[in-house]
Amino acid sequence: MDTRLIFGRRLKEARNDSGITLKELANKVKLSESTVSRYEKGIIEAKHPLVKIPATKKDPPEWVNLPPLFR
């Protein structure tokens, strides 16, 4: 599977699990909502530090290894 799609799926999962909206995430990372949406849909490759955004669950999946951003 395309890495853009995998990343997008994981990003959206982390955002949904965090209970934050697309707009809230976009504001946190200083990107437009449309850009974050395109990341989540796998339309564009994430070349922004957004790729380092962690999940906000207490027990994040192994693909996330940074401290939570949205607690």
Q: Return per-residue pLDDT of the chain as tens, 71 residues.
A: 688 888 888 889 888 888 889 998 888 888 899 999 999 999 998 776 655 554 444 555 554 443 444 44
- What's the rounded Cα separation, in Å, for the pair 16 and 31? 18
Q: Nearest-CA neighbor of 42 among 15, 1, 9?
A: 9
How high is the pLDDT of residue 22?
92
How high is the pLDDT of residue 55?
41
Say if residues 67 and 14 touch (Cβ distance below 8 Å).
Answer: no
Say if residues 40 and 11 touch (Cβ distance below 8 Å).
Answer: yes
How high is the pLDDT of residue 15?
87
Taken in order of first residue, the domains within the chain and their CATH numbers are: 3-52 (1.10.260.40)
How high is the pLDDT of residue 57?
47
Position 33, amino acid: E
- What's the rounded Cα separation, in Å, for the pair 63 and 57? 12
